[in-house]
Amino acid sequence: MIFKILSQMSKEINELGKWQPTIEVLSNKALKTRHWNDIKEITKASFNHKLLSLQHLLRLKINLKSMDVIADISDKAKKQNRLEDMLMSMEKEWRDQKFEIVKFRDTSIPIMQG
């Protein structure tokens, strides 16, 4: 009896292992609604990404061809997130900067002075 239970558990763990790359790609915190909409379109599935569970993911049965495209979307989301973070950092850094337009030396050429 115990051998049968352990055997079943082993099968389930092996099956879950096959889904690990998919789980990693879809658990990307950088995925935003626009990315999820692309994923829904590719998988032709309807789901609420905020409530997506492992059980629901397994029922979606995403094929490998779709997985390549989804992985690409997830990778782009990470890159976009990094750019957005850098932009926010720059905006914060420059927010309180004050500039003044002055004349360059004894000319009438305006220049910006910080």
Q: What is the pLDDT of residues 47-58, one digit of tens each?
A: 899 988 878 877
Segment 7-15 shows an average pLDDT of: 83
Q: Which tens digits make up the pLDDT trace of 54-72?
A: 788 777 777 667 889 999 9
Residue 108's pLDDT is 92
Segment 64-85 shows an average pLDDT of: 93
pLDDT at 3 over 90: no
Residue with tokens 């337009």: 101
Distance CA 58, CA 38 (A): 19
Dihedral angle sign, alpha carbons of residues 65, 70, 73, 75: negative
Distance CA 44, CA 67 (A): 13
pTM: 0.71
Q: Are 22 and 62 in contact (CB under 8 A)?
A: yes
